[in-house]
Amino acid sequence: MQDSGHGRWWQGLRRTRDRVETGWRRLVGLRVSDAFWDEMEETLYQADLGPATVETVMGRLRMRLREDRPVSEAGLHDLLRDELLALLPPDDPDPWRLPPERPQVWVVLGVNGSGKTTSVGKLAGQFHDRGARVLMGAADTFRAAAAEQLAGWSARVGVPVLHQGPGADPAAVAFDTVQAAVNRHMDLALIDTAGRLHTKAPLMQELGKIVRVLDRAVAGAPHHTLLVLDATMGQNAIRQAELFQGVGATGIVLTKLDGTAKGGMVLAIHQALGLPVRWIGLGEQADDLEPFRREAFVDALLGSGLPD
């Protein structure tokens, strides 16, 4: 199954698939024995599932495979597909439909360089293309270039951006953005934040303040707090994400899946953080962002070494 309408996933996960393909191939035809389990464990590690998730999958497979029997290609494929899908929460059935409360207020957070600003630009452009009225807010006041970077996205995707001078209070920018979104009857306000701060206040404290202040602008805001993780960091990204748990993220944007062989880390995220991956980044352009779809992901990960 080279491509079942999932071409971008197939392409995005190429490096991860290349890395594990030899492992899958070696497993086919092996009798279920110590050598088989060693190879299986090694292959799952290679895909960067991480220790806890590897252990879960190994446990499930041990329950389902009979010792001493050879495993057919189709049998192994179906089994792995099942078990990997079971690690992922259900997809949002209609990711491009905004929830009814208006304006929707979404805040984007994450460590510096993870892809926050790019993801805000991409989300803004794609929701705009689908007819939503979108406003971006440049609440990263740490880097002077941050507002310019968002202004660049604004010009590229045709979505307005609200910003203030360098050094402005990020919470004030966030608040003003949401008020402007209310006044202009916007559907979606997307707020970019800094990975580092110019003030002495710790980052988490400052992010907590932004989140709290939004509720004063629109009751119930933010409706989503998206934590941006860089897939090239593999398991380290998950460790970094744990720092943000106090802020109360509701979902993950996983960026740079196109540039990594560590795509299997997607499978560890839900188990480690209890948060769904909602969006993935597959490149640097506006349309290089897709809603996460678990079947497309697992099929692209298992690849042609294990055909249907």
φ, ψ (nearest 5 deg) of residue 147: -65, -35
User: Least distance in Å: CB of 22 to ligand GTP?
Assistant: 25
The residue whose two tokens read 């932004």 is: 210
Tell me the closest approach of the beta carbon of residue 194 to ligand GTP, in angstroms: 6
Of the chain, the end-to-end C-alpha distance in Å amounts to 7
Taking Cα atoms as reference points, which of 191, 92, 182 lies closest to residue 133? 182
Please list the helix, strand and coil fractions of the chain in percent, rounded to the nearest 5, in that order: 50, 15, 35
Q: Residues 154 to 193: which contact ligand GTP by CB under 6 A?
A: none
Q: Which does 110 bind (CB under 5 to 8 A by kind): ligand GTP, Mg ion, none?
A: ligand GTP
Contact residues toward Mg ion (CB under 5 A) are 116-117
Instruction: Decide if residue 195 touches ligand GTP (CB under 6 A).
Output: yes
Residues in the chain: 308
Residues 47 to 106: which contact ligand GTP by CB under 6 A?
A: none
284 binds, among Mg ion, ligand GTP, none (CB under 5 to 8 A by kind): ligand GTP
**Total Cβ atoms within 10 A of residue 151:** 15
256 makes contact, choosing from ligand GTP, Mg ion, none, with CB < 5 to 8 Å by partner type, with ligand GTP
**The token pair that represents 170 in the structure block:** 């990020």
Among Mg ion, ligand GTP, none, what does residue 115 contact (CB within 5–8 Å per kind)? ligand GTP
Q: Which of 13, 47, 124, 146 binds ligand GTP (CB under 6 A)?
A: 146
Six token digits for residue 231? 């897939």
Between 15 and 143, CB nearer to Mg ion: 143
- DSSP code per residue over 274-291: ---EEEEE-SSSTT-EEE
Among 174, 255, 298, 300, binds ligand GTP (CB under 6 A): 255
118 binds, among ligand GTP, Mg ion, none (CB under 5 to 8 A by kind): ligand GTP
| Helix 265-273 × helix 51-64 angle, to 10° | 100
Q: Applying CB under 6 A, what is the total number of residues that bind ligand GTP? A: 20
By CB under 6 A, residue 110 contacts ligand GTP: yes
Buried b (16+ CB within 10 A) or exposed e, 49-88: bbeebbebbbebbeeebeeeeebebeebbebbbebbeebb
CB of 131 to ligand GTP, least distance (A): 24
State in angstroms the smallest separation of the CB of 223 from ligand GTP: 21
Rounded Cα distance between 208 and 202, Å, is 10
Least distance from ligand GTP to the Cβ atom of residue 279, Å: 10
Q: Whole-number minimum distance, CB 44 to ligand GTP, in Å? A: 24
Binding site for ligand GTP (CB under 6 A): 110, 112-118, 140, 146, 195, 255-256, 258-259, 281-284, 288
